[in-house]
Amino acid sequence: MEIKLSVNGIEINVGIELIGQITSSLNDNESNQAIFHELAQHSSSSVRKEVAYKDKISEDTARILLADKDISVINNLLRSDPVKEIFNDEDFSNILNSANEEAIENVISNLDDYSSLSDAEDCLAQIIALENNYLTLQVANNYDTPKKILKKLVKHNDPDIAAAAKNSLD
């Protein structure tokens, strides 16, 4: 990808450090969607993760970034508004299969915001089934977790999970 800076007809090639700074500094508005889309395809994850912070990316750009192999890109993206509209069951399975605690924790935190998931309660059950107590604790600490799940977690053998579930129920 070739990126140039032009000032009054004088052009210079832009290096990776400046590309990252420019990407971070670009206004997060719809008029920049086309440039965000191009930058989402940059070979450097440091540039792509800056794009993933943006809330005014297109659905196509969000889809490109959701397929990224770099977990820092995914983690930034999971918090963004465009993903909250398109994140679906297949995306959830991909995140779950990544076994990345931070990404799964981001999903737990935003689960109720993902409007394209078919069954948020089932997603939480799948997370608990991983038998990762850290993630189960995050489910128990989440006030949006359904009471049905919290009532089961109150009986969990890990005292921190049981206490967190009880606290969330109160």
CA dihedral 138→75→78→83, nearest 10 degrees, is: -170
Q: Element (H or E) spanning 165, and its range?
A: helix 159-169
pLDDT value at residue 13: 93
Residue type, 170: D
9-29 pLDDT, tens per residue? Answer: 999 999 999 999 999 999 999
Average pLDDT over residues 49-53: 95
Q: pTM score, two decimals?
A: 0.84
Pairwise CA distance, residues 158 & 113, whole Å = 28
Confidence check: pLDDT of 52 > 90: yes
> In which band, very low, low, confident or very high, does the pLDDT at 1 lie, cut at 50, 70 and 90?
confident
pLDDT value at residue 99: 84
**Whole-number Cα distances in Å, 67 to 20, 28, 41, 49, 87:** 20, 22, 11, 12, 12
Confidence check: pLDDT of 155 > 90: yes
Confidence check: pLDDT of 59 > 90: yes
Instruction: Specify whether the CB–CB gap between 50 and 16 falls below 8 A.
Output: no
Q: Element (H or E) spanning 5, and its range?
A: strand 4-7
Q: Element (H or E) spanning 6, and its range?
A: strand 4-7
Confidence check: pLDDT of 143 > 90: no
Instruction: Specify whether the CB–CB gap between 44 and 14 falls below 8 A.
Output: no
Average pLDDT over residues 49-66: 95
pLDDT value at residue 2: 87
**Count of CB atoms situated within 10 Å of the CB of 142:** 20
Q: Looking at 12-16, 31-35, 129-133, 154-158, which range is the least confident one?
A: 12-16
Please report, for the chain, the start and end positions of each structural domain, with discontinuous segments joined by +: 1-86, 87-170
Instruction: Specify whether the CB–CB gap between 144 and 136 falls below 8 A.
Output: no
pLDDT value at residue 23: 95
> In which band, very low, low, confident or very high, does the pLDDT at 63 lie, cut at 50, 70 and 90?
very high
pLDDT value at residue 170: 86
Confidence check: pLDDT of 119 > 90: yes
Average pLDDT across the chain, whole number:
94
